[in-house]
Structures are given as C-alpha cells and as structure tokens.
Amino acid sequence: MPLGERAGDKSESRYCGVETEFNDDMPHLLSFNIHGGFDFLVAPLIDPTYRPSLMDQDSGGSGALPFAGSDLVLSPSQWSSHVVGKISSWIDLDSEDETLRMDSESALKQEIAWASHLSLQACLLPTPKGSSCANYARCVNQILQNLNSMQLWLRIPLVKSDDETRNPDHMGEGQTDTWELWNSFRLLCEHHSQLSVALDILSTLPSPTSLGRWFGEPVRTAIIYTNTFLTNARHYPCLSRSHQGLTTAFFNHSIQIVISGEPVHNPPMGRSLESSGSADNNNEGGWRHPLKSYLDYLAYLYQKMDPLPEQERFELGYRDYLQSPLQPLMDNLEAQTYETFEKDTAKYIQYQRAVSKALLDRVPDDQAATVITVLMVVGAGRGPLVRASLQAAEETGRKIKVFAVEKNPNAIVTLHSLVKLEGWEKLVTIVSSDMRQWNAPEKADILVSELLGSFGDNELSPECLDGAQRFLKEDGISIPSSYTSFIQPVTASKLYNDIKSHKDLVHFETAYVAKLHRIARLAPTQCVFTFIHPEHSTKNSNQRYKKLRFDISPDTGSAIVHGFAGYFDATLYKDVHLGIEPSTSTPNMFSWFPIFFPLRTPVCVKPNTPLEVHFWRCCGSIKVWYEWCVTSPSASPMHNSNGRSHWVGL
C-alpha cells in the first residue's frame, strides 16, 4: 500500500519496494511481501547457481534455457506492476576470465530477454565490478537498441568522493567517486533514455553539494539497507538527520525507496511474519512482516512532509515539460493563455505597488485633486494592467487618464467589453495598434508594460519599449525600469534526453521554457544582460555579449552540464521588483517558468576546473536570436549560429 497521501501528489515515490533473495515460488514470495505492506519486489528471476557454460555441458549443447518457473505463475498485471527483475549479481562482463566474461554476456542477454517477455517495467543491473566497464556498457547498449519500453536500472553505490574506505562488493578498485562510474557507463551507452540509476544508500553520505548532482540524473530508485538505519530510544529503526533529508528529497523527486537486507532491529512489536507460513493467514493472526518497522518509518517520513502548496499542485503537470517560448509579437495570444496569466495575482499586486509609488512621486498631495497623470499601458492584453493601474490611482487618491494600447484585435474586443462592464469610459481610451507604429495624441507620464519573458528580454521587451519610448515624456517613468537575465549550469538528464529524442540539430539549438524540477543546479546564478528603460543613450543597440566563468564547488566532485537554466529579475519601480531568479524570486508567482538553453554535447566538469560559457543576443532586421557556446573545460560547437534554428520575430 502507498506510504501515504499528500494533497495533489500522485508521484511514484509513494510506493515502496523490497529487495529479496531468489525464490522459485514467485507467487508465495509476492503474496508474502505485498501482504506485508510493500508495493513491489526487486527479485532475481534466475537461480543464482546457473552458468551458461555449465548448462551447455549438462544439456549436451542443446542450449536448454534455465528459467526457474513459468511466466504463467503470475498474471501479466502482477509481473508488470509488482516485480522488478534483478539481474544475477555474479555477472562480470569485464572479467579477465574469458569463461566468466562469456557466461556473463550470455546470462545478461537471456535474463533481460526473459524480463522483457514478462513485460516487467524495469530490471536492476549489478554494479560494474572492475575499474573498466567498457564491455559491460557495450553489451547493455546493444540490448538497449532493441529493448521494448522496459527500463534498465544500473546499481550504483552512493559513496563519498573523499572516502578512503571502499566496499569491494560495490565498487571497482581505485574508484573514489561512484558518480564517475555512472558517468562513464552512461557515456558509453550514448545517454540512452531507458538507462537509469538505482542508488545504494550506505551509512555514510557525501557532502550536500555532492549529493545534489544526483537530482539532475535519471535516478529511479534508492536502495536503503537495514544496517543503514539507526536505533531510537524505543528500539525502533530510524535514520540520521542527513539520511532523513535525503530520503525526503527522494520523495520530492519521485524516486522510489527499496528496503534491502535482513532485519537488524528488534522493536517491541510481537512476533514477526515467518516466511514458511501463509501470508494471508498470518496477517489475520496479527503477524507482521519482518521488515514492517522499516516500512512504517519510511511511511512516517513521507506523511510528515508538508503538503504541496497550491502553486506546486498547479504546476505538477508542467514539471520538466519542454515548451517553446511565446512569440507575442509574431503571434496573437489565445484566450486560454490570457486566462492563465490573468490569474497570477502576485504579479499584478507588484505592478499595482509600483504604479502607486510612481503616482505618489509624480503628483504631490496638494496637487492630487487637480493634476491628471497620463498613463499608457502598452501591450494591454485583456486589461489586467489597466485594472491594476486604476486601482493604484484609487488607492493613492490620484487622477489618471489611461491609454490601453494592444495589437491583438481579439483582445481589443474583450477590452471594449471590459470598459463598458466596469464603467471606465471616461478613464480609459482603447487603442488598437502596434505600440511601435502608434502616433500618440499626447505624451505619457508613466508607461506600463508586461512584455517580459522567462529570460527577461526574450519576448522583445527592449525592441517594443524602444518603439514606445518616443511618446514618453523626458522625465517620464517606465514600469518596469530595468531587467536583468541570469543563467546557471545545470545537470538535466530528462530534458537532455527529451531533446535528443528528436534526433535533429534544431531542437538542440532552441531555448525552451520549462518548470525545472529534476535538475541539479551546479553553481550560483550570474547575470547576463541588463536593459534599462527609458534608454536615453544615443548608442542604443540591443545587441549584447557576455562571457561568464562558473566555479563549481570542489566538494561537488565531477558533474555533467546538460545546459543552462535562465531566469530574470526586473525592477518595476524603485524598490518594487518582480522575477524568477531563485535567490530573489517573487513568492507565489507562476506567470514565468525558467528558460533552458541546451548543449548539443554535455560537458563533464572536473573539480577545480572552471566552466566558461559565452552568450550573445543578436539582432537582425526581422528577428532577434541567441547564440551560445562553452570554451572551457573543452570547446563546444557554436549553438544557433545566425539564428538558424530558433529566433524571435520582430
């Protein structure tokens, strides 16, 4: 049964599995553990004593397959929903022993073929045993080329990169950072989307920054050993504070937990459920699964997590889903898009605050009854900024005259209806025009716009406001008054594989909007481009170039960079800001998701090696586009040269 229920959370991490030994009575093994409270098994499918070379001798070369039991012992839904196949742990495809190596290759292919025949959702591959995993990866990559939808989970122990003590059962000789082991295997398998990670969680953990790398990797499950648990005052199992934090993070990232090992705690809870009895009958008699106390503790951790905030529940379906950024100049937005953005009350509260402060600065109290401020909303859409501005005027006791300028003829229809409905006829003048071509009858005191994109300038706010600036008074106020874009390097395996699945250059040279979730942020953000409005400089070019150097914390260990997450922060007026840069983001605002600039070839960054990236904002007569590349620790190709793959139309 699931560990618990949290409002809006339907992730797979609610389900907990158990690793078992080989048992040729699969129906009993499944019943025993499911009735004990677990949701699925990680179980060997083949007798561990089997070796293909021995079978060939015994069968006289007939090649009889050694499967233990029939696929008929469980229903197809039981196989697919409740069993993860565990590939034989003796397999060593990089062994110096040729017989063992050949046996390993035959067995691996046979076992995965059998698991695929059973329609299992996943198989757990054993950890590579030596310092080299090339032949193992070659064989797995061959299998992946023709595999159905089944996932392969490579078992990787989560070992401290500076840990001098090594477990020979879990890692190769001389291996000090098991992320390196995973990365080598993943690179040899060409970043295949069906190759994932199963992390073995041991009693010691790496540093938080080193752990953070894994949340951008395709980790599907975390295997926690019973001897990793501590004992509390009542003799029940519990986890250290750092392990608790890690487990909660796994839950938040839809990573399932698997419990492995024999019980090593003796809580005062009566007799344990014995494997020789019937699970159904023993449960009726009050018996408990021997690992039930570990399961109960994980359920306790899950249930004490804070419920997902309303905003997070709203955004669940958008997590790590790639979307092309809006092109509001080229395309007219649809009603549904307007509807979504208009619900973002946090954004319009900030705009109202900014307009209120501007009105108070613009008109002294003793002139409030006589001075009329001319306020122009450029890109008025269906009127939310018009409403926020009128509310600001009412709040401050100032008089305003509003021009609502909008190029979308469909939104103009709604604006006319809104003016009548709200009784704004004497306050609001609707203008159906592109702000860059409109000839205003008078100049504005305040210019208000919401033309910002996820990267600040990527929806052409600079070009639009440059065109509108001519009807702003010399001492006029622009809201926003400035905005800055930011980037940071990220590990984002899911996003990378989603882009890679298109098998073309265009998708790797496109910047996407995405609700980033399963990523690892490898360094703090740095600012890229800044635009200021109004721009009175005679040297008014919106082209930009920035070279950035990121230093990844040495205790992170090596990390892979799949691309760059982009954000913005805008100053609306004086101290009123609005943005999505993580350290200063506006709470409860959902109008913008981050932007993602992918790399065609991911870059592996070693400790104490800087990452150097270059970004250009390029402007042509009919389009604006970005180009980007990495020059250190190795050079990447130039991305999106001359806007060949992605641009924003003027």
Nearest to 132 by CA among 189, 198, 200, 181: 181
The span from the CA of 81 to the CA of 69, in Å, is 19
List, as residue ranges, the binding site for S-adenosyl-L-methionine.
Answer: 338, 347-348, 406, 434-435
DSSP helix/strand/coil, 377? strand
Taking the CA atoms of 363, 368, 371 and 372 in sequence, report the sign of the dihedral they define. positive
The binding site consists of 338, 347-348, 406, 434-435
Using alpha carbons, list the distances in angstroms from residue 245 to 56, 228, 622: 50, 14, 51
Angle at 1 between CA 35 and CA 266, to 5 degrees: 60
Q: Is 459 a catalytic residue?
A: yes
Q: What's the Rg (C-alpha) of the chain?
A: 30
Cβ neighbours, 10 Å, residue 146:
8
Q: Distance between alpha carbon 312 and the CA centroid of its chain, in Å? A: 13
Distance CA 184, CA 324 (A): 32
CB 107 within 8 A of CB 123: no
| Catalytic, out of 459, 463, 509, 627 | 459
What is the token pair recorded at 476? Answer: 């006029």
Q: Are 456 and 424 in contact (CB under 8 A)?
A: no
**Residue 361 in tokens:** 């600065």
Catalytic pick among 105, 217, 450, 509: 450
As a whole number of angstroms, the distance between CA 485 and CA 567 comes to: 6
N residues, the chain: 650
Residues 6+ apart with CB under 8 A from 276: none
Q: Which two tokens stand for residue 458?
A: 């990527």
Are 568 and 499 a contacting pair, CB within 8 Å?
no
Structure tokens at 511: 């910047």
- DSSP annotation string for 103-164: HHHHHHHHHHHHHHHTT-SEEEEPPP-SS--HHHHHHHHHHHHT--S-EEEEEEEE--TT--
Q: Is 306 left (phi over 0), alpha (psi -120 to 50) or beta?
A: beta
Judge whether 243 and 297 are in contact, CB under 8 Å: no
**Residue 356 in tokens:** 């209120």
Strand bridging mode 151-158 / 122-125: parallel
Interatomic CA distance for residues 396 and 424, integer angstroms: 18
Separation of CA 562 from chain center: 12
The set of catalytic residues is 450, 459
